[in-house]
Amino acid sequence: MTTSILHATLKENFGFEKFRPNQEDIINCILNGHDTLAIMPTGGGKSICFQLPALILPGITIVISPLIALMKDQVDSLKANGIPACFINSSQTEEERQFYIESLKSNLIKLVYIAPESLSYLDNIFNSLTISLIAIDEAHCISAWGHDFRPAYTNLGYLKKRFPSTPILALTATADKATRKDISEQLNLINPKTFVASFDRKNLSLEVRPALDRVKQIIDFIKEKPNESGIVYCLSRKTTEELAEKLQKIGINAKAYHAGLDNKIRSKTQDEFINDDCQVVCATIAFGMGIDKSNVRWVIHYNLPKNIEGYYQEIGRAGRDGLPSETVLFESYGDVIQLQKFASQGLNSEVQLAKLERMKQYADALSCRRKILLSYFGELVIENCGNCDICKNPPAFFNGTIIAQKALSAIFRLQETEPLPVIIDFLRGSKNAYIFEKEYQNLKTYGIGIDLSWFDWNQYLIQLINLGYCEIAFHQQNKIRLTPFAKKVLFEGEKVQLTTVQKINIDKSEIKEVKSKAVANSLFETLRKLRYEISKEENVPAYVIFSDVALRQMETERPMSDEELIAIDGVGKAKLEKYGDIFIKAIIDFQKSKSSKKKKEATTYKETLILFQDGLSAEEIATKRKLGLTTIISHLAKLYVDGHEIDLSKFASQDEVSKIKKAQIKLEFPATLKPYFDFFEEQISYDKIRIGLAIIEKEKNILI
Ligand code: ADP
Ligand code: ZN
């Protein structure tokens, strides 16, 4: 098939401008009648690989999927694009099923989604259907090696025998070779062509933080993104509930999700999340399998995951639409200990422990995290990614020999019998009951580490463990023991390189209600609201109407005609017809209101200026205009920058201005005032900072 026909089909029906890696090759392979095995990461774009051929091929495409919950969304998405599709599964009434079976017989449907357990509904009518393609989604479910084994999948091998000349496309995000072979053999695929897409998801940022005050860090994180959907994965059911409650208390729309909750509650939460009615889900790993939501903007791991496979799958639920999305993993020493215990007690303990060790190495990495992840999946990457915390903020090494000596000798003095917290207390000369009970205060080196904080010692000790100078005896109450390498540091003068402790900025202000930030008046938000309203009317998830990518593009491109709108990624013919007018109108209205707002702004500045020129003080203008003093001061600052003659010297002294100037350089030109305010430890008011910045800006304008 020529490239241009495939591209035209892609644009017209799905609205996409270009194929993602491997999509076109896979489609061509199918159209040439070959059996195909497609291995792509979550969010890689597997669906297009069978949905597009389904439109070109003459008959019906059967899509076998284990995820009943997903079928409706996928069919809704297809319908929104004007593609006739249906699903058949046990959630429907017999009547509904009969209706769709009749539609299939009358050739009114291009794609039918079906669970393997329900295939018998089709068996009877197979003879009267033209089947052009069979797609088997989540094909790893066939393999007992894999993690989601589904017995009904093992029966699917008969399909190839029943339809020997119909191509089969098997799709999965599980990469390991044993599973791949299993899929191909059990499905009786004939010389399948195999495509393995890169597992790199460049749009996901990777970050690991020490688990200090996690809840506060999470709240600060969510506060920054009041309308963005996200998932917090927790190890225990209890944590999901506690965290959800804490978030709710301060006004964040969060819910808990775990396998112990009633089925109804679970599916309600899931629906609300998918439909943008619930912003945050605090969940165990039970959540996510059935989630196809393309606009999950962030994923947080409250606890260290058990292994990299699970971790990668979970963060993969963010940013399926390809827009930048954030992931944060909290690492705590306590979690590591707990996970070590689980792993060593469970089945296959050696493998589980080794996997946990790799996970820990990832979390403790001192080089590009993405390289580590991808090498785990067998991909070699040369370049650093630039989108992980290590790349953005490379660790600085310093000579940490003295710190190491202090720590190791403390362990030695305590005769290798104490866990990490006691060692830190000992180093810091803590006066707690346990120390006194053991009379540790009488030992040499007690308190030699008073100069460092508890948090810093914790980090340095973990580094020393990772460097191999000491180790945790997991089977003996987590005592810290020295390894033979410690001797070299203690007695033979070996030097130790440590990295500076990552500073985490926790907003120290009290947690207040989370108020919607002033994002409300962007075009994106306007369009998001419109999308939400339409989704409610049509009873489909919002992202089915338009993806976040499409809305972002509309925000930057401002399309105001059909021709301009169809150029947006994700706008195909059907969506243009259905939603074109209403979105274009919203964009035009937005433009109009902005320009009238500008006019209004100009008049409000002018009024302030006139009163100021009449000799009124800022306070007097504020009273007269019934506006806040801060507003008037910001008017004056703006008028000053715009070139009006206004004496600002009484608002901020020369000394203050030069301080602000220095801070500006030190803080690397922050966009907001808060960093300055914090920098001056609240000693210089916001108004002064505002004025100071205006003076500095004016100076620059003159220089240029
Ligand atoms: P997977 O099943 O591999 O997890 P999906 O098929 O659900 O991935 O696709 C993930 C997202 O990417 C969806 O929102 C889909 O609409 C979008 N997508 C797929 N192919 C393209 C493409 N060629 N261009 C732009 N977006 C695409
Ligand atoms: Zn990196």
Residue 13 CB less than 6 A away from ligand 1: no
Residue 543 CB less than 6 A away from ligand 1: no
pLDDT value, residue 30: 97
Say if residue 49 is in the same domain as residue 123: yes
Would you say residue 184 lies in a domain? Answer: yes
List the CATH number of the domain containing 127. 3.40.50.300
376 contact partners, CB below 8 Å, separation of at least 6: 308, 358, 362
Whether 48 and 41 have beta carbons less than 8 Å apart is answered as no
Say if residue 74 is in the same domain as residue 149: yes
Say if residue 151 is in the same domain as residue 38: yes
Would you say residue 509 lies in a domain? Answer: no
The preferred substitution site among 7, 14, 195, 201 for testing ligand 1, maximizing ligand atoms within 8 Å of CB, is 14
Ligand 1 atom nearest 294 alpha carbon: 14
Ligand 1 atom nearest 19 alpha carbon: 23
Helices (H) and strands (E) in the chain, counts: 31, 17
- Beta-carbon count within 10 A of 617 CB: 12
Q: At which of 196, 218, 239 does a domain end?
A: 196
Whether 232 and 302 have beta carbons less than 8 Å apart is answered as yes
Whether 388 and 329 have beta carbons less than 8 Å apart is answered as no
> CA angle at residue 171 from 170 to 173, to 5 degrees?
145
pLDDT value, residue 626: 87
Give the distance (Å) from ligand 2 centre to CA of residue 374. 11
Would you say residue 590 lies in a domain? Answer: no
Nearest CA owner, ligand 1 atom 20: 45
Residue 313 CB less than 6 A away from ligand 1: no
Residue 321 CB less than 6 A away from ligand 1: yes
Nearest CA owner, ligand 1 atom 27: 45
H or E element in which residue 371 lies: helix 369-376
Would you say residue 456 lies in a domain? Answer: yes
Whether 558 and 587 have beta carbons less than 8 Å apart is answered as yes
pLDDT value, residue 143: 81
541 contact partners, CB below 8 Å, separation of at least 6: 73, 76, 274, 275, 276, 293, 535
Domain residues for the domain of 369 are 204-392
Residue 51 CB less than 6 A away from ligand 1: no
Instruction: Indicate which ligand has the atom closest to the C-alpha of 393.
Output: 2
Q: At which of 340, 359, 392 does a domain end?
A: 392
Give the distance (Å) from ligand 2 centre to CA of residue 382. 11
Q: What is the pLDDT of residues 567-597, one digit of tens each?
A: 999 999 999 999 999 999 999 999 888 888 7
Ligand 1 atom nearest 23 alpha carbon: 23
Question: Distance (Å, rounded) from C-alpha 56 to C-alpha 79?
Answer: 17
Say if residue 238 is in the same domain as residue 336: yes
Quote helix, strand, coil % in the chain, to nearest 5: 50, 10, 35
Q: In the structure encoding, which two tokens stand for residue 355, read together?
A: 């996997």
Say if residue 369 is in the same domain as residue 234: yes
Give the distance (Å) from ligand 2 centre to CA of residue 228. 24
Say if residue 157 is in the same domain as residue 256: no
Say if residue 10 is in the same domain as residue 153: yes
Q: Tally the domains of the chain.
A: 4
- Beta-carbon count within 10 A of 612 CB: 21
Nearest CA owner, ligand 1 atom 18: 45
Would you say residue 216 lies in a domain? Answer: yes
Q: At which of 168, 196, 224 does a domain end?
A: 196
Ligand 1 atom nearest 49 alpha carbon: 6
Give the distance (Å) from ligand 2 centre to CA of residue 200. 11
Question: Distance (Å, rounded) from C-alpha 367 to C-alpha 388?
Answer: 10
Say if residue 365 is in the same domain as residue 403: no
pLDDT value, residue 145: 65
pLDDT value, residue 518: 46
Instruction: Indicate which ligand has the atom closest to the C-alpha of 386.
Output: 2
Phi, psi of 30 (to 5 degrees): -65, -45
Say if residue 482 is in the same domain as residue 628: no
Neighbours of ion ligand 2 (CB under 5 A): 368, 370, 384-385, 388, 391
Would you say residue 540 lies in a domain? Answer: no
Question: Distance (Å, rounded) from C-alpha 154 to C-alpha 177?
Answer: 18
Question: Distance (Å, rounded) from C-alpha 548 to C-alpha 185?
Answer: 39
Whether 490 and 412 have beta carbons less than 8 Å apart is answered as yes
Say if residue 386 is in the same domain as residue 402: no
Whether 171 and 36 have beta carbons less than 8 Å apart is answered as no
Question: Distance (Å, rounded) from C-alpha 524 to C-alpha 683?
Answer: 37
Note the maximum CA span of the chain: 93
Q: Where are the alpha helices (DSSP H) in 15-157?
A: 23-31, 46-56, 68-80, 94-105, 120-123
Dihedral angle, C-alpha 421, 422, 424, 427, nearest 10 °: 180
Nearest CA owner, ligand 1 atom 9: 45
Give the distance (Å) from ligand 2 centre to CA of residue 384. 5
- Beta-carbon count within 10 A of 607 CB: 14
pLDDT value, residue 506: 57
Would you say residue 92 lies in a domain? Answer: yes
Say if residue 488 is in the same domain as residue 620: no
- Beta-carbon count within 10 A of 207 CB: 17
pLDDT value, residue 164: 94
List the CATH number of the domain containing 494. 1.10.10.10
Say if residue 171 is in the same domain as residue 246: no
693 contact partners, CB below 8 Å, separation of at least 6: 637, 660, 664, 673
Nearest CA owner, ligand 1 atom 16: 321
Segments of the chain with pLDDT less than 70: 1, 145-147, 175, 290, 503-520, 702-704
Would you say residue 360 lies in a domain? Answer: yes
